[in-house]
A and B are shown apart, each in its own frame.
Chain A
Amino acid sequence: MTTAYKTITDVTGPLLIVEQVADVTYDELCEIEMADGTRRLGKVLEARTGRAVVQLFESTQGVATEGTKIRFLGHAFQLDVAEDMLGRIFSGSGKSIDGGDALLPEKRLDINGEPINPSSREYPDDFIQTGISTIDVLNTLVRGQKLPIFSGAGLPHNRLAAQIARQARVLTPREVEMQSADAQAEEGGDDKFAVVFGAMGVTFEEAQFFKQEFERTGALSRAVLFLNTAADPVVERIATPRLALTTAEYLAYEKGFHVTVILTDMTNYCEALREVSAARKEVPGRRGYPGYLYTDLATIYERAGRIRGRSGSITQIPILTMPEDDVTHPIPDLTGYITEGQIRLDRGMHQKGIYPPVIPMGSLSRLKGKAQGEGKTREDHSGMDAQLTAAYARGVEVRELAVILGESSLSETDKAYLAFASRFEKEFIAQDEYKNRSIFESLSIGWNLLQELPVTELKRVKPAHIEKYGKR
């Protein structure tokens, strides 16, 4: 199995072509040994009789058609996993880079994973309180969900992701029953929590930000970091999210952890994929991205969820920056078709100084239905969600109208909506980066804001709830 071949004939971009090979299989891992003895990893993209196309995970700089040796290792890319990975930092290709002790592997897993059988899944319905009103009430995060943050260059997506990682927890049944969250509660009780962080092509500062954030809050001891920074090889990024998710799957489904996976920045990942596709001269789909981008992204995003009979879960929060804030760009577009909603950050709100600049129009959590309401949060939750969003949308429309016609020409109802919209932005959406609001606090703010509107306009909340929570 470990015959070394010296028959590399072509090197283009990250690709090598090796001739006269035998027993090479598709997706097989291989190791390239350069003339000076350094080694690099690659995988087989195409296996033909006597010929293989290999993609390196590192740069091909220094690879020569003569003097470079290549070995096929007889298996796909595998990762050694262990519970001891918690608290450790790895490179984007899975090498330890924190100077710590060598890891004692408990298991060796194929990084591509296998699709979860839909009939083995358990439907996610546990409310996660992030302490952020606009997420908790309007775009409820659910344990086992994949909920990306659609952002743009210069928007505070990293701060938001860090805040979610810092504050997210599941309420205890007692807290739900008492309708008050214990402000002192740590990530709850018997449950085991972990964060797996995968960075693809982010700057050194961004990687540092997360590292320090985890260190400062003591979260590092229950986090695993995979860092591929902008300075690291581009094609290595194709492996990074898969390493992170393989680790997460091991922790979740075999060790019973509730794992939050943060992947940033998916845009860099897709660009790496495009680079490889272009080097292979494949027929491109939209904007030069390969036609299989949807399928490829699905093999990442679908690795989230809960499995019947296993105690752990994987909640995924991928971050992507939309080129030119364009949500129809292939990367956010295909992501949106796979993930269970999206948290969309808005430049206009950011410029107004609103943090977090989460815009209700365009943000969505598809799984929120079963995580809102009695027994999960509070009975009035879903009505409040629909009412606030509809009212804010109307308020924004009125605001546009007022720009043209002047505020004085608005009807009384429209004026009420206008007032509602600006208070909603200031008091509900905006909150301090370190403010952890319980869901019950957030709902009361909502009821307070609805006082701006005449009661006949409240079509989405139940009259009984107005009586109980929104007394006038």
Chain B
Amino acid sequence: MSTASITKVAGPLVVASGMSEAKMFEVVRVSKERLVGEVIELHGDSASIQVYEETSSIGPGEPVERTGTTLSVELAPGLLTSIYDGIQRPLELIEQKAKSPFISRGIEVPALNRTKKWDFKSTAKAGDKVTGGDVLGTVQETTLIEHRVMVPPTLSGTLKSIKSGSHTIEDVIAQIETTDGKTVDVQMLQRWPIRIARPVKQKGIPSEPLATGTRILDTLFPIAKGGAGAIPGPFGAGKTVTQQSLAKYCNAQVIVYIGCGERGNEMTEVLSEFPHLEDPNTGEPLMKRTILIANTSNMPVAAREASVYTGITIAEYYRDMGYDVALMADSTSRWAEAMREMSGRLEEMPGEEGYPAYLGSRTAGFYERAGVVQCIGSNERRGSLTVIGAVSPPGGDFSEPVTQNTLRVTKVFWALDARLAYKRHFPAINWLQSYSLYAENLNDFFSKEVATGFNANRDRAQVILQEESKLEEIVRLVGTDALSPKEQLTLEVARMIREDFLFQNAFDRADAFTSLLKQYRILKAILMFMDKALPVVQQEDFDMQKIRSLQVKERIVHAHLIPEDSLSQFDALEAEIESQISALLL
């Protein structure tokens, strides 16, 4: 290797000379402390390097060592239940090695355990023709997930040998003879560069919902498996609570949760909660399907930029096995700010609000890695990767560049609203501003798999809520009495939809998850209340107070607490609604 040395240090940006052979995005080791860095700009002999660790006390003249590889993640059994920093170093190992609760720099730890033995069961046999993506065999990674060991995407040929049994991830488990006669050893451990999307055979149109258990999301603004969604909102509106709730209850099989430039305690909360929480779909601890990437706000800024790519590459790897994977990135604004900071230090010409001109293309490139796909490989496998990014717009102003660039490429917009949060209406998702462009693709699924009336009810609920906002303006000017009985009923029902259906307590174990069918039943009961009450209130000189104070309304308030296994209670509730209201008919 040529002798390269540092010529300039300014925060996370290091410039080195003697780098004429370096390649863009090559990983380098900076200074005597061997800090991890990545080449991001080349000028003749000198290279600009973004360093993923603290550069304090590093100075000109210190060596820079090239590694010849680009920034990659390690992929093999053992990823699940891990917690990594932005460049896939396990935080627990860092703690052990540093012998300190603080993250010191220059620590080298392997991303995956090299000595642990996994029970590999081959499913392919010698003599098989294999191509990239074909499953060679399986490993029970956790009780929830069977890890499918695949032929690396770029390799194909004839399987010469394959060995079942107890292996470490570095043991040779198979040999493949390629078409040009070379024999390649295959390990369970594979690497993939984080900035390049893993290949797929074909992308498809998302047509199945990702059930999240959150009523406003599933019923009003559903996201599809393989879709991309954004949750923008000012601080305190509940981005993180919503993201965590999705990670806990959505019906994806594998979850990748990226804490990008956010609070340390939030990651600790996930770490302390997930091993004890049960997956509502399987009853197993949630941690067994989860991978955490934690790069908190006080950790080096460049690693924040890498963390979202690290996360999405791992997510793609599980998608390639044929799983439904969901990735939550909280918050993508911090990722964009990390780009801005590096761009500023490189003295690039700034675009809007100091963000680099390539903010839009990078954002689009990231969200486009979502999708429902035909996995590569000769057998038919369908996998999906859903990406949900939180956005933290300064001052809650959605017109800022990160929110706008995100909305251009995501099809679901869950707008968090500080005013709702102030009123303690959670999830504080604004029902007038939010939208989902998947609703149409998903209609078929809902009417076939949940209930025929599902879509019609959603549309009605939305109309009622819109009408409410118009009527409220009138009420603000002239008072409730000026409204017709029908309009007063609309207000009453809208209030029931908001308070008894949309309002949901993510911290109450009984309320945090609602199945699609139960969501349908609650909303149906409320709409039925409206249908039955309409002829009643239109009677001459009818006193609205009688409807408002109906005792059955209290039962509707608590309908969300009806257990999932006794949904037949809704039949009784509906009968009660009918009888109490018809008693008011003169």
Residues of chain A whose beta carbon lies under 8 Å from any beta carbon of chain B: 22-28, 45-50, 75-76, 110, 112-124, 144, 253, 282-286, 291-292, 294-295, 298-299, 302-303, 305, 307-310, 327-330, 333-334, 336-338, 340-342, 360-362, 364, 366-367, 369, 382, 386, 389-390, 393-394, 401, 404-405, 409, 411, 456, 459-460
Contacts and interface: CB of A to CB of B under 8 A. Distances in A.
B394 A26 contact: no
Nearest to A114: B102
A337 B54 CA distance: 23
Nearest to A142: B265
Interface of B: 7-11, 54-61, 83, 91-92, 94-95, 98, 100-104, 234-236, 259, 261, 263-265, 267-269, 271-272, 294, 296-299, 301, 334, 337, 340-341, 344, 347, 350, 353-354, 392, 394-397, 418, 421-425, 475-481, 499, 507, 549, 553-554, 557
A122 B481 CA distance: 55
A295 B297 contact: yes
A133 B522 CA distance: 37
A124 B549 CA distance: 43
A389 B424 contact: yes
A98 B476 CA distance: 61
A283 B344 CA distance: 6
9 contacts: A23-B59, A25-B9, A46-B8, A47-B9, A49-B7, A112-B54, A121-B101, A283-B354, A338-B263
Contacts of B344: 282-283, 291-292
Give the most central of A28, A48, A124, A253: most B CB within 10 Å.
A48
Contact of B267 (A45, A48, A118, A330): A118
A38 B229 CA distance: 60
Nearest to A369: B507
Contacts of B479: 405, 409
Contact of A123 (B60, B269, B396): B269
Contact of B60 (A48, A118, A310, A409): A48
A307 B395 CA distance: 32
Give the most central of B83, B98, B103: most A CB within 10 Å.
B103
Nearest to B92: A119
Nearest to A414: B480
A393 B425 CA distance: 11
B424 A295 contact: no
Give the most central of B56, B100, B236, B265: most A CB within 10 Å.
B265
Contacts of A341: 236
Contacts of A305: 264-265
A48 B17 CA distance: 12
Given A45-B10, A47-B9, A118 B480 contact: no
A392 B483 CA distance: 26
B500 to A, nearest CB: 8
A21 to B, nearest CB: 9
Given A114-B102, A409-B481, A121 B268 contact: yes
Given A46-B9, A291-B341, A390-B423, A118 B294 contact: yes
Nearest to A454: B549
A49 B299 contact: no
A382 B509 CA distance: 14
B11 to A, nearest CB: 8
A327 B397 CA distance: 12
A22 B296 CA distance: 35
A31 B564 CA distance: 70
